[in-house]
Structure 1
Amino acid sequence: MGRGRQKAKQTKVARALKYYSPETNYHALEQELKASQTDVVTDDRWGSTADSAYDNDADWDDDRRY
């Protein structure tokens, strides 16, 4: 297949994908979103060291220029 035909075929496929809109199952989407709201990550999961390691601004020298 020549480059022109190959590019035309890729363009056709890309256009079909861009404008293809399958029927959306809103009920299933709603159930999935409701389930994911309970999976929110809290700070307790990572422990107190995750936040405290970067809380001390004294480690950074603002006067230093590179």
Structure 2
Amino acid sequence: MGRGRQKAKHTKVARELKYSTPNTNLSALERELGVPSSEPDYEDKWAHLVSDDDELDDDEDDTEDDARTA
């Protein structure tokens, strides 16, 4: 097979791969990957590092900045 015909064949195959939409069985993929079907509740693993006092101090700083700019 000549180089031109070979390149045309590769181009055709590449185009088919690029624009094809294969049927994907998502439930089988989830089973294969071991993903649980229901999402667990979100738990902030860093919450213990921030105290409630720090959050209040940040809010007070914002109001002071707003008073200075007004």
TM category (shorter chain) comes to: 0.3 to 0.5
Q: TM-score, normalization: structure 2?
A: 0.41
Greater Cα radius of gyration, structure 1 or 2 = 2
TM-score (norm 1): 0.43
Higher relative contact order, structure no. (Cα contacts within 8 Å, ≥ 6 residues apart): 2
Larger helix percent:
2
